[in-house]
Structure 1
Amino acid sequence: MLYTNKIIKQSYLILCCVCFFSCQNNQQVSNNEPEKDKTFFENNLKQKTIYIQALGNVNQEYVNYIKKSVENFYGYNCVVKSKLNLTNDILTGSKRRYEAGKILKKYNSKENILLLTEKDIAHRKSNEFPEWGIFGLGYRPGTTCVISTFRLKKNISKATFLERLKKVALHEIGHNLGLEHCTNDKNCMMTSASGTIKQVDSEKIWFCKKCWNALK
């Protein structure tokens, strides 16, 4: 009986050791998962270069801020190009705004390019709203997007304006990468603004897990 009890105790100790090392191994795998995501992010996204180009006169501070924001969030190499002059051929029918679709078509490029303007831009939403004022527009997927500061800076602090600018820029680049509007989490930057600045303000500078996975 003593011999049997001894065997039982030894077996129990062995089992405990196996369980302990198994838990340790599982914990290591779990802790390494974010590192795998980070490695994928660095190896696959950082290889891209995005060009930032002003359309018309744009405050250089805004250009530099977008450059830094894109570099920090996506890991892109960003290059600022010389500004382009706005031309009448990209005006809307009313001649009061610039048509985002015409801008994308005119300046579409094989290079990844973000166009920035301080002028109001619009997009045809429906027959009822042929010139729907927007914050930005980008091909999905594609290489070209355009954003406007015009509707982002009315009656707010500079800090709030810059945060909005960052979110819209990262959102439109997300479309270029192939991301659709997110319906998974309202805090995700890929959520559709639906024409309201309140949605932009409520979002985090963040992509939900579903959107990040879609980039893979």
Structure 2
Amino acid sequence: MSAFPNSPKLLKAGIVVADVATSTIQRVISLQYNPDTLTRSLAPQALASDEKDRSEALRLKGPAVETIKLEAEIDATDQLADPDNNPDAVQFGIHPQLAALEVLAHPSSTDLLANSALEAQGMLEIIPMESPLLLFVWSRNRITPVRLTDFSITEEAFDPDLNPIRAKISLGLRVLSVDDLGYQHPGGILFMNYLAQKEQLAARSVSAALSVLGLNANPLGGRS
């Protein structure tokens, strides 16, 4: 029991794996410890710099390309201290937790074998395999479809059988927008909700007075 029973419950960040066709949840991957930092980059989709039409200078072609970078830790120390209730940690260390993330970077073995069988039958065109839809969840206010772009693991400690028992992971994610998925795709709908929520939060940010910037009047000549 917590020494502070009235303290708020700590939410975990993680990834939800969903089936696109049915929108059913296949797996929820919760990070053991929330990262201390989350790096996000947004690249606006402006028109190409070689465009000569000055009337197009302020136009955007679509949503900004957003990328997310985070580092997290996985540690089996607590589980190994209670071996009777954590037999998997004793037998495998943190292999299962790492594998749950690693399989997100691969097509399934079933899909690979199915494509191999089609090739053996002489199929001239093999449709690329579709991965599940990944949703990155960082609180209720940030739920967005993503693609895993890079993933690295640094294993730092091992048990006597060389099972990893402590590791640092680095995840690179790219937010998938309606440009990638379309407006009717479940992920596209989720992205639009994500964008609308940003706009609602932005509306809560109070606009500063021009005087804060050292200006006494609208620099464009219009109303302040």
Q: Given the two structures, how large is their TM-score scaled by the length of structure 2?
A: 0.21
Larger % of strand: which?
2
* Higher RCO, 1 vs 2 (CA within 8 Å, ≥6 residues apart): 2
TM-score normalised by the chain length of structure 1: 0.21
